[in-house]
Structure 1
């Protein structure tokens, strides 16, 4: 219950509120307490607090109230409350936790409070603060009152800034010197966060890979489950159909046999009954004759002779009549042979199912192939019963069925098959037949499937990079064309680490310009894609975005120059004629003793340094690919360069383009020359890298990419330093 809630809640002074609801005029707003407004002496603030405590049943611990609050309240012109250090949360934002604060009720605040029903207690916010302080002092605190406010300045000072890798916990800078962390591996907190993020990315990549494998396995199990269910369902329907037919045949035979037996029984009984009636009639006749004979025997002789003669004729006639004493219908049952040949035929037909119809091969599903295998699926009519399938295939050249190609077959139980040991990026045609006890189905139509490509091969020697991008080139690694390529990037110090940070998809050619972050190390992979799916990863190429990288091209060197094995040092010996004359080439310099570096084909800013001998004659600059090889560098509109000539005791420096040079004097001879090529602003700048001095800047018309170029007019050497970070003073130009 909030005693100091808004007017919609419970009123703090019910009696006074009731008076106001009855239409009484509100009290005059003054700066005096309510009691003084009615002509009564001012009441002590402590008495009013005790009255509130008694009114709302808060006097749980009078002793605490007396001890902690008794000395805190002082009556002045306006009520004043001093909150002790035991309630630091009462202070305003930004005040120290131990600082006391007071509330003073002015005339305006008192008027607002009186209008809300709080009398001389001050504003609603002040009363709420008073209530919080009182509840805290009375010991009725909850978890929210046990928390102390920590100043923001202390938070900033106490924030952890390092991470103890041994204890796996963040530390403040001062704590890493404690004995419990002495000798532990401590890294900056930002670096630890980056490492944790990289680890999370790698784990997410592994988890995604495991999820894909489990989904594929679950799909495989689902297909097996459906196939088994369909086969057994068809078999169950077949059995039910045949057994119903057998039961119907047996029931019909039962009815026929029962009817035949009833007719035979009726016939026999009627015959026996007629014979029994005839026998009874004969028996009655015999009895009558016997009685008659007995009567005759008791007559007189004369009558006896007379009647005896007549009776003799009658007896003779009766006895001469044939009496059938043979039973016409024997009681024994005849052998009733039951013919179950048709039932046996039906029972035999249960296993004599018809041969299945031709299966239908499904079109190739996306990502259903690898570089050496392909997954072929097909379907069958639901009424067919199949024991096995025979899948056949052979290579298809140019998308057409191959003639004379080697065929291969395999027998499977399911409606799918993974065919292995195939050639990458190759089309194969497949067809399938179904088999059961009745025979083999016709072959399905032939469908062309394609294996995934072989992994591309990155040309590490042609990888070019700067601080914000890299140009990646690769070979397809496949005989036929592929649909597209995908470049995968991993931010890591070790090229073999897993976890893809970024992917560039849908690349149509064998090169890609990838935007990167400065001063990072990347492992770059390439995949090829076709309708069968993506290839495996290529071997990684390591790229460090710390500066531009290029090498000297030995095919452009003048015969008097030699390039070191690492491609970064150019040497001119004392002899003029080379030991072995190189073959003629349009790309080789003939008149100017010069050499060109690899093309710098990445837009942006490129920086490298050239270490020179201050007593040698050299030229450093850039040139287009079609710069005339019979002219000196800087003598045409296709090249820009800085030229140095040593004529003791002075050095001569020229910045040449199309045979023109500005009038510039260089007092300090550079031992290391910094070159800044800026494609975006079309400028070429030279610096003294030893003294951080800017020498000169060309405004160039760079419509295409350029090559770094170098020349040695006298015996000497120069060394190129690239792949280095751009100095801060260079970034100003």
Structure 2
């Protein structure tokens, strides 16, 4: 029994132990599960932490790369800037060295002369420049071995600086004195200015200023050296200018002088060749002020010079104080002249006008070669010729129409400005005409225009044979006097060999005579207020010669 009881107790104890073990096994299993949960959580935390670390490392890497790139760019920029600064400094140092070398050469040249003040000026500038270079590049010179000569130069110059200041300390000069304007020192675009200074003043140069007295004109100036004369050019004609001058030294510019009024000369006039006229013993010269000239000159001056008598000494003649734009001057026959005109105002005379070349003829009449129609003129324009070939071109005068001199071979003389006499040698001319016409009469004018021409025409025998005339008159030499379209017949038993013509412009009396016998052929008073000119013509081949003898005797 006891044994069974023990067995039962043991069984119960074993059962309890087994239960205890089962419970402990369950607790161990729970612990293992909890441990496994912890390991899972730890693993998940480790993975998340690793991802965070990797992300932060990536960000740090990017920041580092960016910082490195910026640093590299900054280093490159600073490197480039330093290189450029070094190159600029090198160029500046090269220029400074050249400047110093130039000043050294100037100092050596000045030291060899007696101008010690100039030498001290250059030495001071050289010293100051060297000191500036020492201050600009202290690091460079601190590492260099400066020569004793340079150090001694910098030191020894200080002893002369006070003396230099005493020498160069000059007071500001007084105002110069402007001299009055010179009579001959001006043109239409310039004038000369002269001035003087006090003998106690030592100056280095002057400054001149000028301004036109017209409103709104800008003042101009010029910087000069030590001179007491200056020509101001580029000015307007016939204009008043105020001029000032001031002197300067190292101490500065002194006071300006009192203004002085200067005046430019007028512009030269223009000779009106087309309106001027001349004969063998005089000329009427006409001119006008320069176009665009605002003010009228006070007077004019006329100058004329004989070229043929230039080897005999001074031949220039002048007439001053002419109030109008025309003047008549006496000349000599067969002489050649150069004529000039000047304007005059308060500023004096202008420059000469363009020269007017004039050649006086031997007689009172000058033939205008440009007006010749079918006629030939000799070189001296004193022989008029109609050739057979030219006559054939104009051989149409034999009809019944009224004779017109404008259709015939003819040539005009220049306008007659005063009393005129001329002779013609007509021995080689059979059918010719001579006379006087208005200057402004056109070639195509009708022959019936009143008061336009006065002409004596010789009609040869073959031309007059067809006309109805008496036997007594047909045997004589026939002439026709034409008065602006109407005519009268004249018959002479002996034809003249030399015809003399005379015109008095004051009375307008026109006369034609036989120069050898002094027989009066015609005398009439021309009409009209215009200028008149001679006319010469040939109707058959022949010659007319303008004689050198101008004397024409009129019967009383």
The two structures have a TM-score, normalised by structure 1, of 0.40
Where does structure 1 lack aligned partners over 5 or more consecutive residues? 1-343, 579-588
Alpha-carbon separation, structure 2, partners of 1:565 and 1:543 = 14
Which residue does the alignment assign to 1:688?
514
Which residue does the alignment assign to 1:598?
414
1:353 to 171, 188, 193: 171
Alpha-carbon separation, structure 1, partners of 2:357 and 2:226 = 42
Alpha-carbon separation, structure 2, partners of 1:693 and 1:545 = 27
Which residue does the alignment assign to 2:192?
375
Does the alignment pair 1:654 with 2:480?
A: yes
Alpha-carbon separation, structure 1, partners of 2:385 and 2:220 = 56
Which residue does the alignment assign to 2:550?
726
Q: Give the match's secondary structure for 1:680.
A: coil
Which residue does the alignment assign to 1:547?
363
Deviations along 1:213-272, one digit per CA (max 9) or x if unpaired, are: xxxxxxxxxxxxxxxxxxxxxxxxxxxxxxxxxxxxxxxxxxxxxxxxxxxxxxxxxxxx
Alpha-carbon separation, structure 1, partners of 2:478 and 2:287 = 44
Relative distance call for 1:577 and 1:620 in structure 2 (3 A) is closer
Alpha-carbon separation, structure 1, partners of 2:520 and 2:309 = 37
Return the offset for 1:464.
Answer: 0.7
Pairing 1:391-430 to 2, within 5 Å after superposition: 391=208, 410-414=224-228, 417-419=229-231
Deviations along 1:56-84, one digit per CA (max 9) or x if unpaired, are: xxxxxxxxxxxxxxxxxxxxxxxxxxxxx
Deviations along 1:380-410, one digit per CA (max 9) or x if unpaired, are: 799987543233569x7x967767x998654
Return the offset for 1:657.
Answer: 1.4
Which residue does the alignment assign to 1:389?
206
Alpha-carbon separation, structure 2, partners of 1:663 and 1:504 = 50
Which residue does the alignment assign to 2:319?
504
Pairing 1:300-311 to 2, within 5 Å after superposition: none
Return the offset for 1:419.
Answer: 1.8
Return the offset for 1:354.
Answer: 3.4
Alpha-carbon separation, structure 1, partners of 2:523 and 2:347 = 53
Does the alignment pair 1:486 with 2:309?
A: no
Relative distance call for 1:683 and 1:409 in structure 2 (3 A) is farther
Which residue does the alignment assign to 2:283?
470
Pairing 1:663-702 to 2, within 5 Å after superposition: 664-701=490-527
Alpha-carbon separation, structure 1, partners of 2:434 and 2:285 = 27
Relative distance call for 1:699 and 1:428 in structure 2 (3 A) is closer
Relative distance call for 1:664 and 1:448 in structure 2 (3 A) is same
Asked if structure 1 preserves the Cα contact closer than 8 Å seen for 2:435 and 2:453, the reply is yes
Return the offset for 1:476.
Answer: 7.3
Asked if structure 2 preserves the Cα contact closer than 8 Å seen for 1:495 and 1:522, the reply is no
Pairing 1:6-405 to 2, within 5 Å after superposition: 351-354=169-172, 356-357=174-175, 364-370=181-187, 374-377=191-194, 386-391=203-208
Relative distance call for 1:697 and 1:408 in structure 2 (3 A) is farther
Which residue does the alignment assign to 1:529?
343
Does the alignment pair 1:436 with 2:261?
A: no
Alpha-carbon separation, structure 2, partners of 1:544 and 1:600 = 13
Deviations along 1:432-469, one digit per CA (max 9) or x if unpaired, are: 332133211466669554257569779599651244x3
Alpha-carbon separation, structure 1, partners of 2:313 and 2:452 = 45
Alpha-carbon separation, structure 2, partners of 1:449 and 1:626 = 44
Return the offset for 1:513.
Answer: 0.8
Asked if structure 2 preserves the Cα contact closer than 8 Å seen for 1:457 and 1:475, the reply is yes
Q: Give the match's secondary structure for 2:393.
A: coil
Where does structure 2 lack aligned partners over 5 or more consecutive residues? 1-161, 396-404, 466-473
Alpha-carbon separation, structure 2, partners of 1:380 and 1:658 = 79
Return the offset for 1:711.
Answer: 3.5
Relative distance call for 1:720 and 1:614 in structure 2 (3 A) is closer
Relative distance call for 1:402 and 1:624 in structure 2 (3 A) is farther
Relative distance call for 1:462 and 1:529 in structure 2 (3 A) is closer
Relative distance call for 1:591 and 1:574 in structure 2 (3 A) is closer
Asked if structure 2 preserves the Cα contact closer than 8 Å seen for 1:390 and 1:412, the reply is no
Return the offset for 1:623.
Answer: 1.4
Return the offset for 1:486.
Answer: 2.0
Return the offset for 1:362.
Answer: 6.3
Relative distance call for 1:563 and 1:633 in structure 2 (3 A) is farther
Q: Give the match's secondary structure for 2:506.
A: coil
**Alignment size in residue pairs:** 364
Deviations along 1:542-587, one digit per CA (max 9) or x if unpaired, are: 6658531422252x555x5566665553647134389xxxxxxxxx
Deviations along 1:133-188, one digit per CA (max 9) or x if unpaired, are: xxxxxxxxxxxxxxxxxxxxxxxxxxxxxxxxxxxxxxxxxxxxxxxxxxxxxxxx
Asked if structure 2 preserves the Cα contact closer than 8 Å seen for 1:456 and 1:526, the reply is no
Which residue does the alignment assign to 2:81?
none
Which residue does the alignment assign to 2:451?
637
Alpha-carbon separation, structure 2, partners of 1:575 and 1:591 = 13
Which residue does the alignment assign to 1:703?
529
Please state which structure has a larger fraction of its residues in strand. Answer: 2
Return the offset for 1:716.
Answer: 3.0
Asked if structure 1 preserves the Cα contact closer than 8 Å seen for 2:270 and 2:290, the reply is yes
Deviations along 1:569-616, one digit per CA (max 9) or x if unpaired, are: 3647134389xxxxxxxxxx9656544322112x2x211223446664
Task: Name the Cα RMSD after superposition.
Answer: 5.0
Deviations along 1:97-153, one digit per CA (max 9) or x if unpaired, are: xxxxxxxxxxxxxxxxxxxxxxxxxxxxxxxxxxxxxxxxxxxxxxxxxxxxxxxxx
Q: Which has the higher contact order (CA 8 A, sep 6+)?
A: 2
Q: Give the match's secondary structure for 1:636.
A: coil
Q: Give the match's secondary structure for 1:574.
A: helix
Alpha-carbon separation, structure 1, partners of 2:545 and 2:336 = 23
